[in-house]
Amino acid sequence: MKKTCVKTAVLIMCLAMTFSLLAGCAKPATDNGSSTGNQTAPAQAVDNTAASSGKISEKERVLKVMFPEHPNQPVKDFAPAQQEIFKKTNIKLQFEVVPSSNYDDKKKILLATNNLPDIIRISKSDVNDYGTSGIFLPLMDYVRNDMVYFKEKWESIPDLIKVTLDGKLYGFPVIARNEAKNGYGPVIRVDLLKKHNLETPDTFDELLDVLAKLKEIYPDSIPWSMRSGTVKNIQKIAYMLGSGYGDDGIYYDYDVDGGRYVFGPATKEFKNVLSYLNKAYKMGVLDPDYAVSTKQQWEENLTSGKSFFFLDNSGFGLNYTNNLRKTDPEATFQIIPIPANQDGVRRAVFYATVFTGEMYAINAKIKDPDTVIKFIDWMYSEEGSNITNFGVEGETFYIDENGEPQFIADYVNKFKDAQPSPYYAVYSDLGITKLNFSLWACNTMTQFQIEKLTGTWSDLYDEYWTIVGNDKAYVEPVMDPPLTAEEAERVKDILASLNTMLEQEYDKFIIGVKDISEYDAVIDKAIEMGALELEQIYNDALARLQQ
């Protein structure tokens, strides 16, 4: 007994000694410099070779930028655009790219451990979660006093105020440049309509009739295919049918009380959405597997000629046309103008084009923030934007007579046969556009130019953009107002239980297990669970901002 006691005591002492030793070892490491001091140290002026005046940074300076990398557009180190930036500004951008599939995981760890690179891509919700923690540099004073190009944009786009938190700005929004607008829309096989003498549907009811006729002609077909589940499809169609869904049910309706936030599934109008889908289901027009169909199955249906209609990202129609024409040269998917709903109203929402939700925050511990701010401001200038979207003037683009940048054909045509597409290859080669580090960023503008130069553009595209452009039904999306931390928490709480309840209901009404008259009970329950409180929170936040 005594022996064991002694043994244990010795053991404990041994352990204690080991731990104290370890602790002793660890200490100098921490004293040597706090984590961030270390991380940012190499980012500061590294050597003093280029000391030319007139550039944004007097000395050569490295800035580390972290953003997600999209698989279609691999990011290169120090691509021509970044070399050009270095030439003009003396700032050397060093990219830390993270696969887009897991960008959020890494970002969260860096934010939680306060170990940020100099500049980091964040989303609007990160501002809500981390803005007050002091890890981002507050930018509003710089915008007012030191910035020229960004200030101009800030003032010309009043909606940008919504990216602030309590009146403070923590990230520079990526602003789209000259973006073609489109949105979710109805796309149909127009060649079949012509072949069978069917009118282009002008109302949503006519749409079902047309699809039903096609089903009669092709009994094996599934006229209307969907992908990615019920909720995703309700999001796409609800606004057109007179209700709305947004991302989580709460959306801004221009037509209610002169414009306010509404929780879609808790309104009478939402019944129209469900009964319309129910009608489509009963008529055999809608894919019976609509609720579980994957993107791949959906694509298979559309490109094998089994399905004739989808209401989704309307640009896809052009892809599927290309594929269908391998076997059927006449086949054509084309968007149709938004049909009128049961109230005779045509409405749809554009994608968010001006501000897509991405921002770049600056590490609060950065040295010499003035230079960095000056640099960021330059990124919003015409010169900065041209470089970050078109590359090197004289080599890859020129300025045309209207003062607009244009790609040089000889350069672009080198990528004619590139995969997955010529424009992604050009973007990747130069290190440009919104999937790289650009603050006034192009997407469709550059894409169209490249497609026209490489001959991948077709008349169908022109037709597509004309139809979308002439369709008066589309309205601009409304950016959500910033919520306070408590509000955001409350919204999260309500939505979690509310949507769990609701999402179990939708399919019952679409398939017809429950009659639509029973949906009133669901509305009551949703209101009981806080649907109106949600509306209140959003509308209050909006009102607060407008004051």
Partner 1 sequence: MGMSKNRKIKVSTGYKIFNILNYTLLLLLVFVTVYPMYYIFIVSISNGTFVSRGDINFLPRGITFKAYETVFKNSDIWRSYLNTIIYTTVGTAINIVLSSLCAYPLSRKDFYGRSVFTFIVAFTMFMSGGMIPLYLVVLKLKLIDTIWAIVLPPAINTYNMIIMRTFFQGIPVSLQESAFLDGANDLQILWKIILPLSKPIMATMVLFYAVQHWNSFFSALIYLNSKSKYPVQILLRNIVIAGEFADQQTSIGNIETNFAVVATNYKYAVIIITVIPILMVYPFLQKHFAKGVMIGALKG
Binding site for partner 1 (CB under 8 A): 7, 11, 14, 26, 29-30, 35, 38, 64, 66, 69-72, 74-75, 77, 95-102, 105-106, 109, 112-113, 115, 117, 179-180, 182, 295-297, 299-300, 303-304, 313, 315-316, 318-319, 322-323, 326, 351, 353, 417, 419-422, 443-444, 447, 451, 456
Question: Residue type at 198?
Answer: L
**How many CB atoms sit inside 10 A of residue 228's CB?**
16
Q: 405 with 386: CB under 8 angstroms?
A: yes
Q: Which is nearer to partner 1, 201 or 477 (CB)?
A: 477
d(CA 542, CA 24) in angstroms, rounded, equals: 55
Give min distance, CB of 356 to partner 1, in A.
8
Burial code (b: 16+ CB inside 10 Å, e: under 16) for 428-445 equals bbbbbbbbbbbbbbbbbb
Q: Which is nearer to partner 1, 31 or 486 (CB)?
A: 31
Q: Which is nearer to partner 1, 234 or 531 (CB)?
A: 234
End-to-end Cα spacing for the chain: 79
Q: Which is nearer to partner 1, 74 or 138 (CB)?
A: 74
d(CA 457, CA 289) in angstroms, rounded, equals: 34
Give min distance, CB of 105 to partner 1, in A.
7
Could you tell me which residues come within 8 angstroms of residue 159 by beta carbon, excluding any fewer than 6 positions away? 354, 355, 478, 479
Q: Which is nearer to partner 1, 22 or 256 (CB)?
A: 22
Give min distance, CB of 201 to partner 1, in A.
23
Give min distance, CB of 67 to partner 1, in A.
12
Give min distance, CB of 525 to partner 1, in A.
30
d(CA 412, CA 408) in angstroms, rounded, equals: 6
Give min distance, CB of 77 to partner 1, in A.
7
Give min distance, CB of 489 to partner 1, in A.
21
Task: Find how far residue 225's CA is from the centre of its chain.
Answer: 24
Q: 450 with 407: CB under 8 angstroms?
A: yes
Q: Which is nearer to partner 1, 175 or 494 (CB)?
A: 175
Q: Which is nearer to partner 1, 316 or 411 (CB)?
A: 316
Per DSSP, 352 falls in state P
| CA distance to 22, 126, 165, 364, 529, per residue, from 485 (Å) | 41, 11, 10, 21, 21
- The number of C-alpha atoms within 13 Å of 38 and in the hemisphere containing its C-beta is 9
Give min distance, CB of 183 to partner 1, in A.
8
Q: 179 with 444: CB under 8 angstroms?
A: yes
Q: Which is nearer to partner 1, 332 or 353 (CB)?
A: 353
